[in-house]
Amino acid sequence: MKASHQNRSFIRLIKPLAVVEDNVFLAVAQDFTKNYVEGTLREPITRALSESLGREVRIAVTVDASVEPPASAVEEDEAPESAPRAAAVREEPPAPTVEDPHLNPRYTFDTFVIGSSNRFAHAAALAVAESPGKTYNPLFIYGDSGLGKTHLLHAIGHYTRHLKPQTRVRYVNSEEFTNDFINSIRDDRSLTFKRTYREVDVLLIDDIQFLQGKEQTLEEFFHTFNALHNAGKHVVITSDVSPRHLDGIEERMRTRFEWGLMTDVQPPDLETRIAILRKKAAADDVAAPGDVLEYIGSNITSNIRELEGALIRVTAFAALNKQPVDLSLAQVVLKDLISDDDSEITASSIIGTTADYFGISMDEPHGHVAVARLRDSATDRHVSVPSLTDLSLPKIGEHFGGKDHTTVMYAVKKVEDQIAQRRQMYNQVNEIHARIKQQSRA
């Protein structure tokens, strides 16, 4: 598909969700982007997708504020007019203002459903929001992906500012923090950097695990943390593991993270899952009967992002086909996600899916070289094999071109390190993982 510069920028903001029969579901973060995709881009995207899938398909675009554009989407290219253009800004950024805390309006305490899995974390977050700088400093929230850590961080920011509008709040994920830090060195703006992160009353820092191994950034974060803490300002941190499991972060920092309060979030129980779905349906103003919510809630158990994604898929499918949302429709739409069949995942399906994800054909000239490289990453336990199959490391080596088990172990370690350090890698791995499972069920 030939696309203008601007169109390419918009295309990069789209996240593909699923293909169900002749419908391709896409998600974007903003209404503005949805309008553009549905207007200007509908025809070329539909044509390109139909060509590549070999059949006529339709597209359905939903707005989901939690959708992050694929990494480097905006940086590599010029961003659309309305999108953030952080990378393009060269002059000194303004010091933090109370108007610009970087908060997602959807993530508030009002929209957060409390259950036994998150009650303590919620109570601690609320206490911090009510009197920042006083108790539980720092507050450290940890737990698996998609369980509401980011939501709670934003909720703290909103509620703090609701109670005291002059409070200076700043939300940042640790990758943005890293980029800001690197850019500040490059552009000789370290003073502005310091002001941005130290002249705040509440610093909310997300996914701290991505700072692991980044020594200089960690050092800077350590100073930021100390400066804020000493000044009685509040720091709230989230991570996918508890402080003591944060490898690659010095002991002196990990101990500081444990000074305040640590609390985890667990996967929600069935009741909470259904309550979350009900709230989401109400917020999006879609009618989804109880048995549909129960079906989704009973079958998608470990990740709230996936839970919400399933509901979006079902309701979008119904809207597109002008059908009511009912149980049989939900079963059809979600059949590749939900299946009783625990079918075996083979080494070749892992290689095939991974190659496919990166757009590499095994038949292409040099394709085998690229695939061989992918095999290294595909042997990682996060990506796939050890957590998806019962194969031993030597057996995995055999399947992946006769490599011995030390090579497999090395590949595992290498990719693990990258996952720990780069959000993009982490997202890619999760996505590949999901596709492998999905395809093995299909």
Interface ranges with ligand ATP (CB under 6 A): 66, 107, 111-113, 118, 145-151, 207, 240, 276, 304-305, 308
Q: Are 237 and 143 in contact (CB under 8 A)?
A: no
Nearer to ligand ATP, 307 or 411 (CB): 307
Q: What DSSP letter does each residue of 28-76 carry, written as one string?
A: ES-HHHHHHHHTTTHHHHHHHHHHHHTS--EEEEEE-TTPPPPTTTTTS
* CB of residue 107 to ligand ATP, shortest distance in Å: 6
- Tokens representing 399? 């399947």
Which 8-state DSSP code applies to residue 86?
A: G
Tokens representing residue 9 in the block:
């920028």
Task: For strands 15-20 and 23-28, give the pairing.
Answer: antiparallel
The span from the first CA to the last CA of the chain, in angstroms, equals 29
Encoding tokens for residue 239?
Answer: 């991570």
What's the CA gap between 291 and 288, in Å, rounded? 8
Residue 149 CB, shortest distance to ligand ATP, in Å, is 4
User: Is 150 marked as a binding-site residue?
Assistant: yes
Closest CB to ligand ATP among residues 282, 369: 282
Task: In whole angstroms, give the CA distance from residue 83 to residue 70.
Answer: 14
Q: Smaller CB distance to ligand ATP: residue 142 or 317? A: 142
Give least dist CB 38 to ligand ATP, A: 22
Kindly state the smallest distance separating residue 70's Cβ from ligand ATP, in Å.
15
- Shorter beta-carbon distance to ligand ATP: residue 147 or 371: 147
- Residue 332 CB neighbours (<10 A): 12
Nearer to ligand ATP by C-beta: 153 or 218?
153
From the CB of 204, what's the least distance to ligand ATP, in Å?
11
Q: Answer yes or no: is 148 a known binding residue.
A: yes
Q: Measured at the alpha carbon of residue 46, what is the angle toward residues 41 and 49, in degrees to the nearest 5?
A: 120
Q: In what order do the strands lie in the sheet with 15-20?
A: 15-20, 23-28, 58-63
CB of 168 to ligand ATP, least distance (A): 23
**Rounded to the nearest whole angstrom, what is the least distance from the CB of residue 279 to ligand ATP in the complex?**
6
Task: CB nearer to ligand ATP: give 132 or 268.
Answer: 268
Judged by DSSP in three states, 96 sits in: coil
Q: In this structure, what are the phi and psi dihedrals at residue 129, rounded to the nearest 5 degrees? A: -65, -35
The Cα–Cα gap between 284 and 324 comes to 16
For ligand ATP, the closer CB: 107 or 171: 107
3 state DSSP class of 89 = coil
User: Nearest residue to ligand ATP, using CB?
Assistant: 148
Residue set of the binding site = 146, 148-150
Residue set of the binding site for ATP = 146, 148-150
